Amino acid sequence: MAIVAPPSGPEAKQARSRAPRGARERAISGRAVVPGSAEGIALVTTEPISLWGGLNAQTGEIIDRRHERSGEIVTGRVFVLPQGRGSSTASAILLESVRTGKAPAAIINLRLDPILALGSIVADELYHKPVPIVLLSQADFDSIREGDHVSIRPDGTVRIRREKSHPRRSWRL
């Protein structure tokens, strides 16, 4: 059932553009599963997570104690994870986190996760606040690092800015 995003190919523009001195910015294109605009600092994991039993919608904390990012806060971050897992209640947790204001700014996935898309679509229909979701190819997905500044456009364009001196994988809010 997993659908992998189309390979980015030559049409995926890898461009340096105007960015602050000491930073590098590039743009890649993905599939906008739930279109929208958002930006935030990347919170990256390669391990799937079920939001039900995995995310506290009142605090934004990852509470799956078996998960590698247990204890992190997703609020306002661009949550980069391959896909969700397990419970079909994940959509309800994503919706509730939108209501409480603790949702991630956006989600970037490697494989289509219909349950996450559903939570975001219901948030759009009920509160007019979708959580944009973009699917990326494996290579593009792997290229995003913890702490990158990521912005997302409704057409699925993802712009990534990385400070040259940015510490890798040690970002904490």
Options 33, 108, 110, 131; binder of another protein; rule CB under 8 A: 33
> With binding defined as CB under 8 A, does residue 122 bind another protein?
yes
Contact 14, 26 (CB under 8 A): yes
Options 45, 59, 87, 157; binder of another protein; rule CB under 8 A: 87
The answer to whether residue 143 is catalytic is no
Per CB under 8 A, contacts with another protein among 55-84 are 57, 63-66, 83-84
Distance CA(122)–CA(151), nearest Å, equals: 22
Pick 19 or 112: Cβ nearer another protein: 112
> With binding defined as CB under 8 A, does residue 6 bind another protein?
no
Task: State the nearest-atom distance from the C-beta of 12 to another protein, in Å.
Answer: 20
Helices (H) and strands (E) in the chain, counts: 3, 8
Give the 3-state DSSP-derived string for 81-120, with helices as H, strands as E and coil as C: CCCECCCCCHHHHHHHHHHHCCCCCEEEECECCHHHHHHH
- Which range, of 38-46, 85-93, 148-156, 159-167, touches another protein by CB under 8 A? 85-93
Q: How many Cα atoms sit within 13 Å of 100 on the Cβ side? A: 18
Annotated catalytic residue within 8, 29, 37, 87: 87
E-strand ranges in the chain read: 23-29, 31-34, 38-44, 78-80, 106-109, 133-135, 149-152, 157-163
User: Residues in the site for another protein, rule: CB under 8 A?
Assistant: 1-3, 33-34, 48, 52-54, 57, 63-66, 83-93, 95-96, 98-99, 111-112, 114-115, 117-119, 121-123, 125-127
The residues assigned a catalytic role are 87
